[in-house]
Amino acid sequence: MKTVLLKDVSLHLGEKIKLQGWVRNYRKASSKLRFVIFRDGTGFIQAVASKPDMGEENFEKVKLLTIESSLEMIGTAQKHPSRENEYEFLLEDINIINIAPEYPISKKEHGPEFLLNMRHLWLRAPRQNAIMKIRHTCYYAVMEYLESQNFYRFDSPILTPTACEGTTTLFEVPYFDEGSAYLSQSGQLYLEPGIMSLGRVYDFGPVFRAEKSKTRKHLTEFWMMDAEAAFVEHEENMQIQEGLIRHIIRKVIEKNLTELEVLERDVEKLKKADAPFRKITHRQAIDLLKEKGFEIGYEDDFGAQEEVALTEDSDIPLFIEKWPKQIKAFYMKLDSENPDVVLGADLISPEGFGEIIGGSQREDDYDLLLERMKRDNMPLEEYEWYLDLRKYGSVPHSGFGIGFERIVAWMSGTHHIRECIPFPRMINRLKP
Amino acid sequence: MKTVLLKDVSLHLGEKIKLQGWVRNYRKASSKLRFVIFRDGTGFIQAVASKPDMGEENFEKVKLLTIESSLEMIGTAQKHPSRENEYEFLLEDINIINIAPEYPISKKEHGPEFLLNMRHLWLRAPRQNAIMKIRHTCYYAVMEYLESQNFYRFDSPILTPTACEGTTTLFEVPYFDEGSAYLSQSGQLYLEPGIMSLGRVYDFGPVFRAEKSKTRKHLTEFWMMDAEAAFVEHEENMQIQEGLIRHIIRKVIEKNLTELEVLERDVEKLKKADAPFRKITHRQAIDLLKEKGFEIGYEDDFGAQEEVALTEDSDIPLFIEKWPKQIKAFYMKLDSENPDVVLGADLISPEGFGEIIGGSQREDDYDLLLERMKRDNMPLEEYEWYLDLRKYGSVPHSGFGIGFERIVAWMSGTHHIRECIPFPRMINRLKP
């Protein structure tokens, strides 16, 4: 008898098969009929336990099952009598593996603190399961797309001697006799040596921000993908980003329709986002915001409210490019047509999910870069290696970084980013 | 005119094309002829600069080129007149992007400290470039194989409240008002809740060991892939590992023959390793070692010397299974046929590259697990969430962890593991 995964059950209709998994829920229809909602990680199915069909002894075993008990089910799958594209499982027998005591997560509403304390069990809930599957799809889609664009994986270090940007939000780690190490906030600077060896590189790992923010968009530990490419300038940099995001959207729609349904995600909205991305300059964005009544100046950054205001009229992601150099990082290349702005762009998602990519062409001129580092009072000896890249074989190059959980939140339509990572870490949350 | 990557140059022979990259080296053959070894990240080619062919003005530009200068080359590629599967590039013109000053890494032997200080430039060396490409191939092969085996990516946290195994080698991080966090040494325990939601899961991220070891096999920050699967028992666990490793070997041979040649890696050795893996028990291994003259007892662990002695007679990886429970972790399941040993296996690579996988079936019985945790004096309240997994829907399950840089070292034939990661971190090395 074959053991079958639920994702493949449609290929085995009418065969006697074995399933292995857990009781999601059960319902007593009568003294002779029970329904068991069963899950195995790859899918869900309703199993029908009929006392006349399976015999009294086997039916008695079914009556022992509780929520989250584990078992093997033996029987045959068939098309659901009324629901399209659904199947049900006619039980012949079960092998009980473990009978669970009363499950702590019930149907009633639990507060977020309770659920986060129970994260190790909460992950089994259909919504959480669906989000994790979408996360998987997004991750794989990123790798696939970058592979097709000749990027090599090039892991940047987590333990770093200096801060990449800013210093107030760093986690500090005592490091043997070397003083302190800091947990990386971005791998970007370390990708730049990579492109001089490999042409195009990316990393994809955890980054850390010791921010005291408690918003629904902040985690202290989250995953980030940084990509960097030699001989790519500002316009092409945005094209690569657009291609990547649209590939992710298509893959999620292709692979996760079931999960999107569990999450009640509006798939039409995702389909509409798979269109040529819109693009405005920072200056145009400020004008738009002024029209909408915001009090904002031409050298101001945006907050969440401004991002929403700029994207609420369209389902298509929006690049905001050419930012005032004062409010962007030292390594962004100045626009030769207007040296007050940098050749950087932020990509804002639709539907209020905020900024998902920050990217730019990088300053490749040694003297200009040095000047800007001096202006920012950066410790030059710590960055000598980074300056070396402009000395030996400097080339035009660009890159970008994706906040991965924000992509997952957008794709899955999840309000709180803490549900988009298996074990979220926040200012007051380090467990389990 | 088309810009072409060197990896695709054979598709454009005879066409006028543009290449973008760096001078690896150059050679003056006569006053009218120069050879430039050119690289673009995807490959290397020898460019031929002939004064009669390209004209004096263009030839003068070629004479300005130094090692690691960056440029565009315009001309045509053709088959190398004598060497099979190689190409050369007939230069018509060049666009100089950046002329590099004297390059710090010369042909003469440099000590490891110098090269590690220059890691940001050393990465461009052909050997380092080749190792990074093989690393990329290995990473992608792992993802591909696990995808084909229905594993979902499920990132475990890096900041953890307690140690997974041991406490003496932890990096400690002050964490707001929550006391200390510790950098993860293994994601395994966090994967186990994942399988109860998704069936099969894996993580692939950095882990940290504050070990004072200075051997060629130790890094303080390295990458590890942990996989965990519900309803998989000890034998199948080893089958999955074997399938994964053999897939990696095949992909490296398929994609990296050029790099293996640069590294002078004996490809025949790799081909021979792609055979059914050997398997002996820990007890048999001790007997073998005794025969070979080692003074070792039946409850002893192995060191590097023992690993070499056990694998020196064969090119095929070796599983050593069924270890004495005293020397293995608390979560490994006891063998029902002999409760003095656990259903765990270590996979030892051939050619002296040491242990590359540790894995086991996990204890799924609540009472037995609790008993072993008590025996080890573990802080039970910290592991309540982990014990919950044996209370609610416990199932037989197994998993394993791969030390990624060790796989890369083996595939690429690299003696020192510090060359198998872009920016190695060691006890006395945190820069650049």
pLDDT in the model for residue A108: 79
From the list A123, A136, A393, which residue is nearest B100 (CB)?
A393
Whether residues A309 and A385 fall in one domain = yes
Query: Is B208 part of the contact surface with chain A (CB cutoff 8 Å)?
Result: yes
What residues in B contact A177, CB-CB < 8 Å? 428
Side-chain half-sphere of B153: how many Cα atoms within 13 Å? 23
pLDDT at residue number B321: 98
Same domain, B144 and B94: no
Q: Is the dihedral of CA B188, B194, B200, B202 positive or negative?
A: negative
Please check whether residue B156 touches A, CB under 8 A: yes
Please give the sequence-ordered ranges of beta strands (E in DSSP) within B337-421, or none if there are none. Answer: 338-348, 355-361, 397-403
Return the pLDDT at A215.
79
**Phi then psi for A182, rounded to 5 degrees?**
-125, 140
How is chain B split among helix, strand and coil, in percent rounded to 5? 35, 30, 35
Tokens of A128: 């959480």
Q: Note whether A49 and A36 are within 8 A (CB).
A: yes
Q: What is the pLDDT along chain A (432 residues), one digit of tens a residue?
A: 999 999 999 999 999 999 999 999 999 999 999 999 999 999 999 999 999 999 999 999 999 999 999 999 999 999 999 988 899 999 999 999 999 999 999 877 889 999 999 999 999 999 999 999 999 999 999 999 999 999 999 999 999 997 555 567 899 999 999 889 999 999 999 999 999 999 999 999 999 999 887 778 789 999 999 999 999 999 999 999 999 999 999 999 999 999 999 999 999 999 999 999 999 999 999 999 999 999 999 999 999 999 999 999 999 999 999 999 999 999 999 999 999 999 999 999 999 999 999 999 999 999 999 999 999 899 999 999 999 999 999 999 999 999 999 999 999 999 999 999 999 999 999 999
Widest Cα–Cα separation across chain A: 85
CB contacts of A388 in chain B (<8 Å) are 120-121
Residues within 8 A of A (CB atoms), B 403-432 only: 421-423, 425, 427-432
Q: Do B153 and A175 touch (CB under 8 A)?
A: no
Residue among B3, B120, B390, B431 with most chain A CBs within 10 A, to mutate = B120
With b meaning 16 or more CB within 10 Å and e meaning fewer, what string describes B232-268?
bebeebbebbbebbbbbbebbbebbeebbebbebeee
Whether B32 maps to a domain, the answer reads yes
| B428 found inside a domain | no
Query: A9-31 b/e with 16+ CB inside 10 Å = b?
Result: beeeeeeebebbbbbbebeeeee
Tell me: do A92 and A225 sit in the same domain.
no
Contact between B206 and A161 using a beta-carbon 8 Å cutoff: no
Q: What is the pLDDT of residue A245?
A: 98
**Which residues does A5 contact at the CB level (< 8 Å), separation at least 6?**
A40, A42, A43, B150, B199
B153: which chain A residues are within 8 Å (Cβ-Cβ)? 135-136, 139-140
**HEC states along chain A?**
CEECCHHHHHHHCCCEEEEEEEEEEEEEEECCEEEEEEECCCCEEEEEEEHHHHCHHHHHHHHCCCCCCEEEEEEEEEECCCCCCCEEEEEEEEEEEECCCCCCCCCCCCCHHHHHHCHHHHCCCHHHHHHHHHHHHHHHHHHHHHHHCCCEECCCCCEECCCCCCCCCCCEEECHHHCEEEECCCCHHHHHHHHHHHCEEEEEEEEECCCCCCCCCCCCEEEEEEEEEECCCHHHHHHHHHHHHHHHHHHHHHHCHHHHHHCCCCHHHHHHHCCCCEEEEHHHHHHHHHHCCCCCCCCCCCCHHHHHHHHCCCCCCEEEEEEEHHHCCCCECEECCEEEEEEEEEEECCCCCCEEEEEEEECCCHHHHHHHHHHCCCCHHHHHHHHHHHHCCCCCEEEEEEEHHHHHHHHHCCCCHHHHCCCCCECCECCC
CB pair distance less than 8 Å for A181 and B157:
no
The span from the first CA to the last CA of chain A, in angstroms, equals 39
Best mutation site among A25, A120, A139, A209 for testing chain B: the one with the most B CBs within 10 Å? Answer: A120
Mean pLDDT of all residues in B274-292? 98
Q: Answer yes or no: do B278 and B217 share one domain.
A: yes
Q: What is the residue whose two structure tokens read 């029902």?
A: B336
pTM of the model: 0.97
Query: So what's the pLDDT on residue A212?
Result: 84
B178 with A428: Cβ contact below 8 A: yes
- Give me the mean pLDDT over the B166-176 stretch: 86
Preceding omega of B126 cis (within 30 degrees of 0): no
What distance in Å separates the CA atoms of residue A212 and residue A224, rounded to the nearest whole number?
19
Choose among A246, A191, A214: nearest CA to A401: A191
Say how far residue A370 (Cα) sits from the centre of its chain.
35
Hey, of A119, A155, A171, A211, which one would you mutate to test binding to chain B, going by the most B CBs within 10 A of its CB?
A155
- Whether A106 maps to a domain, the answer reads no
> How many angstroms separate the CA atoms of B86 and B80, rounded?
5
Q: If contacts are CB pairs under 8 Å, which of residues 249-288 in chain B contact chain A?
A: none
Strand partners, A227: A202, A400
In a domain, B113, yes or no: no
- Residue of chain A with shortest Cα separation from B65: A393
Nearest chain B residue to A126 by CA distance is B197
Report the distance separating Cα A409 and Cα A420, nearest Å: 6
User: What's the rounded mean pLDDT across residues B302-308?
Assistant: 93
- Quote the crossing angle between the two packed helices B188-198 and B384-391, to the nearest 10°: 30
A130 and A167 in one domain? Answer: yes
- For the segment B256-266, the average pLDDT, to the nearest whole number, is 97
Residue-level pLDDT at B219? 94
Q: A278, A314 in Cβ contact below 8 A?
A: yes
A202 in B contact zone (CB under 8 Å): no
Chain B hits for A119, Cβ within 8 Å: 193, 385
Of B128, B153, B389, the CB nearest to A120: B389
A 10 A CB-CB count for B18 gives 14
Q: HSE of A411 in the Cβ direction (CA atoms, 13 Å)? A: 34
Q: Residue A425's closest CA among A214, A166, A224?
A: A214
User: How many alpha carbons fall within 13 Å on the CB side of residue B198?
Assistant: 32
Q: Is residue B425 part of a domain?
A: no
CATH number at residue B205: 3.30.930.10
Mean pLDDT of chain B: 95
Q: Find the domain containing A38 and state its range.
A: 2-98
Domain boundary among A34, A63, A98: A98
- When pLDDT is cut at 50, 70 and 90, the band that residue B108 belongs to is confident
Do B156 and B84 fall within a single domain? Answer: no
Tokens, residue A267? 């798939």
Residue B136 contacts A where some CB pair is shorter than 8 Å: yes
Same-domain status, A130 and A230: yes
Looking at residue A381, its amino acid is: E
**B360 touching chain A per CB within 8 A:** no
Query: What CATH number has the domain bearing residue A67?
Result: 2.40.50.140
Q: Quickly tell me which residue has 């819109």 as its tokens.
A: A278
- List chain B residues with CB under 8 Å of A194: 123, 132, 422
Could B156 and A431 be called an inter-chain contact, meaning their C-beta atoms sit closer than 8 Å? no
Residue B119 contacts A where some CB pair is shorter than 8 Å: yes
Selected residues 83-112 of chain A with any CB under 8 Å from a CB in chain B: 97-98, 100-101, 103
For residue B198, give how far its alpha carbon lies from the nearest alpha carbon of chain A (Å). Answer: 4
Spatial distance between the Cα atoms of A137 and B99, rounded to a whole number of angstroms? 44
Residue A231 domain flag: yes
A134 and A94, same structural domain? no
| Boundary residue ending a domain (A67, A98, A129) | A98
Q: Do residues A265 and A353 share a domain?
A: yes
Reported confidence tier of residue B213, pLDDT bands at 50, 70, 90: confident
Q: Write out chain B residues lying below 8 Å of A40, CB-based.
A: 199
H or E, element range at B159: strand B159-160
Q: Which of B181, B235, B184 is nearest to B343 (CA)?
A: B235
Does one domain contain both B282 and B181? yes
User: Mean per-residue pLDDT for B262-276?
Assistant: 98
Q: Chain B closest CA to A304's CA: distance in Å?
A: 25
Q: Does the distance separating the beta carbons of B176 and A428 come in below 8 Å?
A: yes
The answer to whether A138 faces chain B, any CB pair under 8 Å, is no
A114 touches chain B (CB under 8 A): no
Interface test with B, best of A4, A382, A392 (most B CBs within 10 A): A392
Is the CB of A119 inside 8 Å of chain B's CB atoms?
yes
Same domain (yes/no): B234, B138: yes
Question: Vertex A390, ends A388 and A392: CA angle to 5°?
Answer: 65
Q: In the prediction, which pLDDT does B163 show?
A: 57
Q: Examine the predicted complex and report whether its ipTM is higher than 0.90.
A: yes
Q: Flag whether residue A163 sits within 8 Å of chain B, measured between CB atoms.
A: no
Q: What region does B231 belong to: left with phi over 0, alpha with psi -120 to 50, or beta?
A: left
Tokens encoding A198: 């490999």
Interface touch A198/B132, C-beta < 8 Å: yes
Task: Report pLDDT for A216.
Answer: 80
- Predicted confidence at residue A115, as pLDDT, reads 96
Q: How many domains does chain B divide into?
A: 2
Is A432 part of any domain?
A: no
* Distance in Å, alpha carbon of A360 to nearest chain B alpha carbon: 20
Alpha carbon distances (Å) from B233 to B243, B323, B344:
15, 16, 10
CA dist., res. B22 & res. A89, Å (int): 63
Largest CA distance in chain B: 85
- Mean pLDDT for B180-206 is 96
The pLDDT of residue A164: 52
The minimum CA-CA distance between B93 and chain A, rounded to whole Å, is 18
Task: Examine residue A113 and state whether it is found in any structural domain, yes or no.
Answer: no
When CB atoms are compared, the residue of B103, B139, B153 closest to A392 is B103
With CB atoms and an 8 Å threshold, state whether B430 touches A175.
yes
Which pLDDT value is given to residue A367? 97
State the CB neighbour count (10 A cutoff) for residue B368: 14
The number of residues in chain B equals 432
E strand or H helix at B236: helix B234-255
A194 interfacial to chain B (CB closer than 8 Å): yes
Query: Alpha-carbon torsion A53, A56, A61, A67, what sign?
Result: positive
Question: A391 contacts in B (CB within 8 Å)?
Answer: 100-101
Distance (Å, whole) CA A247 – CA A144: 9
Is the pLDDT reported for residue B319 higher than 60?
Answer: yes
B181 closest CB neighbour out of A22, A139, A430: A430
Domain co-membership, B48 together with B178? no
- Residues of chain A with Cβ-Cβ distance to B41 below 8 Å are 152, 195, 197-200, 230
- pLDDT value of position A167: 66
Helix/strand/coil for B9: helix
**CA separation for the pair B289, B27 (Å, rounded):** 54
- B391: helix, strand or coil: helix
pLDDT (average), residues B335-362 = 97
Q: Locate the chain B residue with the closest alpha carbon to A43.
A: B198
User: CB of B21 within 8 Å of any CB in chain A?
Assistant: yes
Chosen domain end from B98, B133, B160: B98
Whole-angstrom Cα distance, residue A80 to residue A24? Answer: 18
Chain B residues within an 8 Å CB radius of A427: 176
What string of H, E and C letters represents the secondary structure of B302-327? Answer: CCHHHHHHHHCCCCCCEEEEEEEHHH
φ, ψ dihedrals at A284, nearest 5°: -65, -35
B window 327-356, beta carbon within 8 A of A: none
Mean pLDDT across B245-269: 98
